[in-house]
Amino acid sequence: MKPKYSLKEVLFIVVVLLLPVAYLAFLYPSMPDTVPIHFNAEGKANGFSTKKNLWAIILLLTLLATGLYLLVRSIPSIDPKKSAGTSPQTYQKVAIGVASLLSAINIIIVYSAFYRGHNVVHVLFPILGLFFVYLGNLMYSVKPNYFIGIRSPWTLENEDNWRATHRFGSKLFFAGGLFIMVGTLLAPVKASIWILEGCIAVMTLAPLIYSFVYFKKH
Where among 92, 118, 144 does a domain terminate? 118
What average pLDDT does range 113-124 have in this prediction?
Answer: 77
Quickly state the pLDDT bin for 52 (edges 50, 70, 90). Answer: confident
7 and 109 both lie in a single domain:
yes
Beta strand pairing call for 34-39 and 45-50: antiparallel
Residue 81 sits at the vertex; the CA angle it makes with 74 and 211, to the nearest 5 degrees, is 110
109 and 151 both lie in a single domain:
no
The pLDDT of residue 100 is: 96
132 and 172 both lie in a single domain:
yes
Quickly state the pLDDT bin for 86 (edges 50, 70, 90). Answer: low
Q: How many domains in the chain?
A: 2
75 and 176 both lie in a single domain:
no
Contact 131, 101 (CB under 8 A): yes
**Average pLDDT score, the chain:** 87
Taking CA atoms, 201 is separated from 116, 168, 184, 196, in Å, by 31, 15, 16, 9
Q: Which domain holds residue 194?
A: 120-218
The pLDDT of residue 212 is: 96
Where among 118, 140, 169 does a domain terminate? 118
What average pLDDT does range 72-86 have in this prediction?
Answer: 71
20 and 94 both lie in a single domain:
yes
Contacts of 108 (CB under 8 A, 6+ apart): 120, 123, 124, 127
180 and 114 both lie in a single domain:
no
Q: Which pTM value belongs to this model? A: 0.87
158 and 90 both lie in a single domain:
no
Sign of CA dihedral 111, 112, 116, 120: positive
Is residue 84 over pLDDT 70? no
* Cα 198 to the center of its chain, rounded Å: 17
2 and 108 both lie in a single domain:
yes
